[in-house]
Structure 1
């Protein structure tokens, strides 16, 4: 079939925008289609910052991808007019026996990553803003830090467009037709054809993929992050790291003060089930929007539990095992899919973009993505309950 483009990317958020950049670097005539105008506040990339860790508690299979992602973020920093990465270091802590902390430590040893192992007293002394009881331990990764997420999307957009990619904003996809040698993507603003397709539509993936014969256990959840007034001498960048915490009371993550809003914190392991068209993005409508994280701070970082400065709601899309989906469509090998990033995917957006460009153009990738396969047994299981 005669086509308008080499590749169409449906969903130009974190993964889709990165994929578009790497596609254009290989000379592919690329069309990006997004229902909004990225970067925007309707997906999973807004809120200014995301943590990047290399020693990975979610599984050591992620470490090579995290290292490659960091290399690509550093390259983007060289090309972009935006601040992409800031090396704050990342501290993880929890009680003795935390499987998450143990796996982060094991992954650092397997890949010879720089990681300081600390007990509770050492953490309390090094960062006086933390008060841990006996029986807790932690690990500090000095080479990790913060990605400025909206800057990342903006930089990839600017560079992709500089490489002659076309971006259609505020253009929802109505339907996708597949053929043996291409696709037609129907939108309110016209129909476009291409040889290859990348689908990376975040919380909207479930509906789009269902129309292409894939009924996947993807569960969007509403999540919140909160900024608290906090003592800058204790909690601003330079004095305090980014952090992730595996506690009996929950799993938390946060950032030092990087702006006038103060310390930023969110809870990972809870969220209200939702659908993207109906998610309530008003912060404070549920007591736990602030209550969970304030309780955590009052217990372990009491000097950070000042007045609420700001709060935002966003959306995760979880898989049952909280591993990503990155694969080719089983019936249509010219369609590459990126979905289900489960709240910990943004740090990998650079390398996932590279992978998607390789899958789309070559039908395979140099990276090991077997953990993200569509055929893994966990995707055949019912959707996991969300607290």
Structure 2
């Protein structure tokens, strides 16, 4: 393998040593591995599957990227930086990773999240428009929204091609000397003051530092750190739509909040149909349990179809396909980006709560900064593990 130093103890199998081991090479882990490798850091990426894959939180082809955010201003700062990094990855890879179709945030007038996004956009000077129902229906004739709805339209927002993004980071990481072990579940992690040892079926590996980015699988590391993250099964689906109204060249990505809940979706990309998912609800899941495919629950389709029939009836055609994915939720739906409370050479990135993918580029940069410089220009105080109090303790 490239990048590793070999040591041997007492006639045992040689142990390969690295500067950093990343356990969990999905969106955040692969991004971190890429930026570390680019800085000349000897990096080993380990994943139980073969990223990009369908067992984590990044599959399903597309994710929204938008900049006007509720909550801490650090989200908007990070979204702006993330967008720049996605553009740089596009240039380096020569691939299209982002479709700038705009994003329309919809909801009834007075919905707090819309007002907060509008204020944040003004604070940061973002290119947005505040639209009433008449103007929305005029611009996008496929929308059948009530007069009480308002919209915040972000012209520079759009859709990330999530699987392609992870693959582009993978290729860049390997090109810069990172080593990837796919299909390699971790059996045990031993942390000592001088470094870490990771035990796998492919061998044992040591490193000075460790990044854990396990997504919905974080509970498998409970012996090392018990994080307040729960995994949730979510359904998304693509429906046949009138492409003269809903093609990505004519229709934006969207978020939609009504009395029934919160939804998000995407225009038809190259005839894919309109994709829609629901941010709230979902079924609890934990590693080791069966993960039911789309359609196991009749609500998988019915709930999503109801939203389209109500607000986009010409996008509520036959079901083209559906899939089930995993959210990794924290109690407050904000991220965890921090160091282990007892082992400062162990870094944690998780709990991205269904809205993290757009930030994968900047989260990878943040982790690379913490590993190499022990600081980052981004304000990650809102993501500190200590906000959960006792939840930050290890179980040992």
The TM tier, using the shorter chain, reads over 0.9
Match for residue 139 of structure 1? Answer: 152
Matched, 1:6 2:22: no
Name the SS of the counterpart of 1:104 in structure 2: helix
Aligned length: 379
State the secondary structure of the residue aligned to 1:277: coil
Range moving further from structure 2, 101-110 or 274-283:
274-283
Once the 2 structures are TM-superposed, how far is the Cα of residue 79 of structure 1 from its aligned partner? 0.3
Q: Is the 8 A contact 1:82 1:152 kept in 2?
A: no
Deviations 1:199-240 (A, max 9, x none): 0011111221x211x322211000011100000001111111
Q: Which residue of 2 aligns with 1:254?
A: 265
Residue 271 (structure 1) aligned to one of 282, 295, 298? 282
In structure 2, C-alpha distance between the alignment counterparts of 1:276 and 1:259, rounded to whole Å: 35
Structure 1, 39-48 or 359-368: larger mean CA deviation: 359-368
- Equivalent residue, structure 2, for 1:218: 229
Structure-2 residue corresponding to 1:152 = 165
Q: Is the 8 A contact 2:104 2:252 kept in 1?
A: yes
Query: 2:335 aligned with 1:335, yes or no?
Result: no
- Alpha-carbon contact 1:58-1:100 (below 8 Å) kept: no
Q: For the residues of structure 2 that align with 1:279 and 1:99, how far apart are their CA atoms?
A: 37
Matches within 5 A, 1:282-293: 282-293=293-304
String of CA shifts for 1:175-205, please: whole Å, max 9, x gaps. Answer: 1101112000011111100001110011111
The aligned counterpart of 2:370 is 359
RMSD of aligned residue pairs (Cα, Å): 1.5
Tell me, in whole angstroms, the C-alpha distance in 2 between the residues paired with 1:193 and 1:142. 47
The answer as to 2:192 corresponding to 1:192 is: no
Quote the Cα distance in structure 2 between the aligned partners of 1:61 and 1:279. 37
The match for 1:83 among 84, 92, 96 is 96
Summarize deviations over 1:37-91 as a string: whole Å, max 9, x none. Answer: 0011110111111000001135433000000000000000000132211101000
Q: CA deviation at 1:133?
A: 1.1
Instruction: Summarize deviations over 1:292-338 as a string: whole Å, max 9, x none.
Output: 11111111111111100010100000000000000011111111110
What residue is the counterpart of 1:384 in the other structure? Answer: none
Tell me the distance in 2 between the aligned counterparts of 1:367 and 1:203: 25
After TM superposition, the structure 1 = structure 2 runs for residues 202-241 of structure 1, keeping only pairs within 5 Å, are: 202-208=215-221, 210-212=222-224, 214-241=225-252
User: Distance in 1 between the 2:245 and 2:284 partners?
Assistant: 35
Post-superposition Cα deviations, 1:109-128, rounded to whole Å, max 9, x if no partner, equal: 11110110001111111100
Q: Distance in 2 between matches of 1:229 and 1:379?
A: 48
Q: Distance in 2 between matches of 1:340 and 1:164?
A: 29
Q: Kindly indicate whether the alpha-carbon contact (under 8 Å) linking 2:74 and 2:378 is maintained by their aligned counterparts in 1.
A: no
Q: How big is the shift at 1:25?
A: 1.2
Instruction: Report how far residue 378 of structure 1 moved.
Output: 7.4
Tell me how far apart the structure 1 counterparts of residues 373 and 315 of structure 2 sit (CA, whole Å). 50
Q: Secondary structure at 1:375's aligned position in 2? A: helix
TM-score by length of 2: 0.93
Alignment of 1:23-38 (within 5 A): 23-38=36-51
Cα distance in 1 for partners of 2:184, 2:382 equals: 32
Mapped partners of 2:52, 2:372: distance in 1:
25
Distance 2:220 2:112 in 1: 34
Which of 170, 179, 185 is residue 192 of structure 2 equivalent to? 179
Contact 1:320 1:378 in 2 (8 A): no
Q: Structure 1: where are the runs of 5+ without partners?
A: 382-387
TM-score scaled by length of structure 1: 0.95
- Whole-Å separation in 2 of the counterparts to 1:215 and 1:197: 16
List structure 1 runs of 4+ shifted beyond 6 angstroms.
none
